[in-house]
Copies of this chain bind each other. A is one copy, B any other.
Amino acid sequence: MTLRKFMLRTIILQNKYRNYVPVVWSSTRSYEDDNDKRDRYKKYGGAAAAALLGSVLIGTAIRETMDSKKVNTVKVHKIENLKLEAGGMRPDLPTFRADEVSKHDTNGSFWVTYKHGVYDITKFLPSHPGGEQILNAGGLSVEPFWNVYGNHKTEEVFELLETFRIGNLHDDDVVDHSDEELWAKEPARDARLLVRTRRPFNAETPPQHQIAHFDTPNELFFVRQHMPVPELEASSHKLRISIEQGGRSTSRDFSLEDLDKFPQSQLSAALMCAGNRRSEMNKEVKPAKGVGWSGGAVSNALWSGVYLRDVLLHCGVDVDDVEGKHVIFQGSDVDATGANFSTSIPLAQALAADARVLLATRMNGRALPPDHGRPLRAVVPGAPAVRSVKWLEAVTVSERESPSHWHQKDYRSFNASVDWASADFAGAPPVYGMPVTSAVCEPQNGARAPVRGGRVLVRGYAYSGGGAKVVRVDVSPDGGRTWLAARPTHAAGDSPGRHYAWTLWACEVPVQPGQDEMEVWVKATDSNMNTQPERFAHIWNIRGILGNAYHKVTFKLQH
């Protein structure tokens, strides 16, 4: 992409997602993990608009950011130094409270606000291209309206608006409307989910619901979004399969009806966010970057669809020519730069008969809910959930891994001594499989647990990726001095090397007479005889992923 083309694209994107631009610019990472920074930017109010007007400068900065390894090239002060317009603070003008502004809502005196800007547009009303619709905004912010009528969001309109500027809206009265457009179509969610972030929506399955069902009900399945949920129609959805070979690319589009013609399969598989249990890692060692998941970023479902392998072979992919090749999955979810979500897995993993990678349309017997990829998603069992791309619109067989920042700058494996300055993302192994882990779901930390017959019932889940089955779960009530064998309460059948479901377990742990508190440790062993590390110290990593140390829970005993 030439610089010129890039800047043009920047301007277009700024218009589309203008309120998000500064946040995303601040980092090549996605913004959801960075609430502090996001809040800081919001305080600057007009920075978004300023960025619009200063798009050449910012565009160049973005480019520098993208080309370099530093993730924070575009700093706040750069944006501050820009000429702030279209809603920025104007120290030279008086400040109004919202109730004062609201009085000016008639043809005779018609004020509106935009972020910190207060505008008297009385004289403009007659020439408003949209006619009298504008009257609805009298005495109010135009922003919610413009979120719907996005044609306002052009450089010309913002310039024009600033010509009517008469003052600043009081800080306390500035309402953040910035998200409304992007998030307006988010699906309804079950109130029982444990919300970690709202925008994008990231929420855990509550522990008591994890152990209540082998297949987590769809509405309780944990949700991990990077962006707003796209709204897609099953009837018109197309999956483009592209095969790149020696600089050439051939593509073919499949409707869901086309995909249905391949053999239908079902797969019981857990999906787990690579950052599951990050909060424990943060607490035991030091904070790592990412959503503060407890142990609820894993659920299990019965997925239905067709095997990606079948579709790729149908498209002429050579099963014997996999070395160094990748399958890139692209979702319909788009970030603020206009980039679709994308990540990849090795082609060998996609084609392995045992890997059972699905193009799934159904989840627990029902159409995929919007939060889980309606109408089509990849399910890459045994891999971190990020590889199971939702709202799947393109699959590309390529000689390169996905170039997206989600793939290149995240979900990679580092040792505990690597920091952000020393992290070599290009050289670090991408995470394509999940290690064995386990967690206590009941009792929870700090809860009161009933003692019956001298024992307390401890329940939880265990899981291992890469096709391995959990074959043993051990529980210790005394800091590892003795270990009790937990019994599986729910587990899928034996399919050596192709086992992708979790295992639910229970253990009746003996209580000592007079004991009023207990710390239990749990660890699982999988069919490759891998087991969990005892503590987080040596597996800590900058992204806080793969936190599979023993789960340690302390609770009160109720005799």
Contacts and interface: CB of A to CB of B under 8 A. Distances in A.
Contact of A533 (B497, B526, B534): B534
**Copy count, this protein chain:** 2
B429 A472 contact: yes
A375 interface: no
Contacts of A493: 323
Contacts of A349: 496-497
B530 A417 contact: no
Interface stretch (A128-136, A288-296, A351-359): A351-359
B435 A530 contact: yes
Interface stretch (A105-113, A235-243, A263-271, A463-471): A463-471
A403 interface: no
A100 to B, nearest CB: 59
21 contacts: A323-B493, A348-B497, A352-B353, A415-B472, A415-B485, A432-B527, A433-B527, A433-B529, A464-B528, A465-B528, A466-B466, A466-B497, A467-B497, A468-B528, A483-B538, A528-B530, A531-B538, A533-B534, A534-B534, A534-B535, A534-B538
Contacts of A434: 528-529
Contacts of A382: 528
Given A348-B497, A498-B348, A429 B527 contact: yes
Contact of A496 (B352, B353, B482, B483): B352
B527 A531 contact: no
Nearest to A427: B485
A534 B535 CA distance: 9
A348 to B, nearest CB: 5
A436 interface: yes
A494 B346 contact: yes
A525 interface: yes
Contact of A539 (B417, B527, B531, B538): B531
Contact of A530 (B432, B436, B494, B534): B436
B483 A417 contact: yes
A542 to B, nearest CB: 13
A466 B382 CA distance: 13
Interface string A471-511: 11010100010111100000001111110000000000000
Nearest to A474: B415
A334 interface: no
Nearest to A319: B353
Interface in A520-559: 523, 525-535, 537-539, 546
Contacts of A497: 348-349, 352, 354-355, 466-467
